[in-house]
Structure formats: structure tokens, C-alpha cells
Amino acid sequence: MINASAAGVIETCRANKDSIGTLYAGQNGILGALHENLIDTSKETPTAVASLKHTPGGAFGSCRYKMRDHNEDSSEYERLVEVFKAHNIGYFFYNGGGDSADTCLKVSQIAARMNYPLQAIHIPKTIDNDLPHTDCSPGFGSVAKYVAVSTKEASLDIASMCASSTKIFILEVMGRHAGWIAASGGLAAEEAGDPPHIIIFPEIPFSRDEFIAKVDATVKDKGYCVVVASEGAKYADGALISGSLHKDAFGHQQLGGVAQTLASMVKNSLGHKYHYALADYLQRSARHIASKTDVDQAYAVGKGAVEKALEGKGGIMVTIERGTGKKYSWSLGEAPLSKIANVEKKMPRSFITKDGFGITEKAREYFQPLIQGEDYPPYKNGVPQYAKLKNILIEKKLEEDFKG
């Protein structure tokens, strides 16, 4: 959905060219701005820009780069302002999750400190759905749809062979501290007792004994057991069920391996044959099965960011506000970045069943509208056709490159 938001920004800027001028895209996010590697989006055809709406990945590149605390070292921010000045940049749109919101806030603050006129606006996009002060985050609806569909299809496969073969299937999904994605697997169930039979949330302390007991009871009752597990699941003492010692630029521990760990528990305790799968990057790049609601919202927040900038606003994130009527509706709002950066929205306890292994009807009412509608990409020779941009860099004006 990050490309759908980019399409919203580009097309809206083009419609307001007299006010905006030329729109540049940082090659690989904030790193492109620091290194003055700026892509001239005016070189892209209208057809190519429109095709971003159905293209996965990041068309201009992405990064995991944490900028330093500007109170301790302001050199990076001073470099950004130098680049902005050199190219007469007055609007800064940054698309991403919580870490991107933090970057956008810092850029806004340093620009103000240096008396440089810059309107910084954050465009929400995170499959984790953990940004605060917005009903949902673009990217999540499509991931939720993918996980729900994958859970449903895999469950039918396991059910067909459980009598004489595999009885346990575990799907591991993303979610460091919040179980939104894992919870979406619950949408696969049409009736009580349908798979997934167990959902493992980061918000609920994991108990090995309770888990094994639930698996055992389910297999005895249904003949098989389907589990959706969040990669960030942890024990009561805060220790992860599985995770590596490696950390990314933002200090986040690299996660993964929960499904294998749970499968080993089942095998050692109950002896059942199992299979597991990691949704991994597939869950966030499966554009062929996107939610139309999600696509519409992703484009809208990009368009809305430009419109709010033209209204003179800055230091904000565009938000999605859910309507109050029985029929699902939504509109755009805004929230100050100071209330967004470094804040995670976790699953409400009321969304999780009393036993901690499923989702409630209240959760279903929240999730269901977000996965509605199909928005298939065009196909050619049996596979989707995605955008291919020129990504032409502009000529640099600064003599020295960024040394960071």
C-alpha cells in the first residue's frame, strides 16, 4: 500500500503543480534525502504513476535507518536542511509506520529550530496496524485479508488429511508487540469451532501447558488443530518464545521461529505430525489479493497529505476515522506527530476471548470491513503486471556527499 499512497501524493501534486512545483522522491527513503539522491517523479508517465496503485514493494526504495537524536548530534538534520535548501523543498511527506513517524517528527522539529520553512507530514502505512490515533493503518487490511484467506485454505487441506497424516498446522505471522495480524486469521472462521482453533497473541502471556492442553483437546474433538501465531509471542516474564540476538537499526530484535518452536512442543508432548509455514514477506507483498477498502484508504491518505500541506499544516499524521453508523464508513482526520511517534497501539483485551486463544465478536466487527472488496492488478501471461518506473535522479547541487 505504500505505492498506492505514493500514487495519491504524486497525482495530487500534479493537479496542484502551480502550488507544489516539482515533486522529488528520496531514493531509499530518508537515505536518498541525506545523500541527495532525489528521483524526479515528473519524468514518470501518468500510466506508470497510476499503476503504482496495484504494485507491491516500494517503487522508490526503502530503508531501515534510524536518525540520531538531534539533541545529541544534529549533523544529519543539518544535512537534510542543506539538501532541502539546495532544491527549494518546502514540503516533506514521509510514508511508513511508527519509526517513520519518529523520523518525520524529528525532521519537523529541526527545521523549526533552524528557522527553515518546512511542512512535514507523515503518511501512515504499516501492516502491524499499531499506529495510535487512527482507526487503522493502510497496509493492514490487505495483510489481514491474506492471512484470513491463507488460514482458511490451509485449514481445508489439513482437515482433508488429518485422519491418517498431518494433524497440526501452524502459520506464523508478523507482529512484534501487537497481535492485529494474528487476530485477522480468526476471520477465516464462519462458525464457532471453525479453524483457526488457536491464535497466539503478543498481548497474552504464553503458557506452554495451556497451549498443549488446548491442542490436545482440539485434536480429540476435531481431528486436527490449526494455529495462527504472532512472531512476537512471549512468556509471562517477557521472554520471547523465539527470536534471534540480532537487532535492526531501531534496536528491534529480529524475530522468527515461533512456528517451529510451537511445532516442536506439540511433537514432543503429543507426538502428532505437523506442518508449519511462515507468511513472512509474502503477507505484505501479496498485492494480488488486496483489500479494496485498504487500497482506497492508502490512496486517500497520500492525497490527503498533500491537501493538508496546501492548507498550511505540518507536524501531523493523516488519520483514518471510522464512522459511527451501522454501515461501515470512514473519513480522513489528522493527529499531531508528537502523539504518534514511539507509541504503539496494541489489541484491546476486549478483542480477545477469555481463554486468550481467539477473537471476540467485537473484534470481528472491527476487522471485517477492513478486508472487504477485491482490487485485482492487471494480468498478462498469467501473472500480475506491476509498475516499472524510470527512477531518474536529478543532478546534485551540493559539493560533498553525506558521510554518515
* Owner of C-alpha cell 517451529: 260
Among 18, 40, 102, 128, the active-site one is 128
> Distance from CA of residue 356 to its chain's centroid?
24
Measured between alpha carbons, how far is 244 from 247 in angstroms, rounded to an integer? 8
- 252-258 contacts: CB < 8 A, separation 24 or more? 252/176, 255/176, 255/231, 256/172, 256/231, 256/280, 257/172, 258/172, 258/200, 258/229, 258/230, 258/231, 258/233
List Cβ neighbours of 60 (8 Å cut-off, separation of 6 or more).
Answer: 6, 25, 26, 27, 28, 29, 32, 39, 389, 391
List Cβ neighbours of 390 (8 Å cut-off, separation of 6 or more).
Answer: 43, 44, 48
Write down the H helix ranges in 174-331.
Answer: 180-184, 208-222, 258-270, 282-285, 292-310
List Cβ neighbours of 132 (8 Å cut-off, separation of 6 or more).
Answer: 335, 339, 340, 343, 344, 345
* Owner of C-alpha cell 497525482: 11
**Which DSSP helix (H) or strand (E) runs through 333?**
strand 330-336
The neighbouring-strand residues paired with 352 are: 359
102 given a catalytic annotation: no
User: What would the grid cell of residue 57 be?
Assistant: 514493494
User: Is 3 within 8 Å of 55 (Cβ atoms)?
Assistant: yes
Which residues are designated catalytic?
128
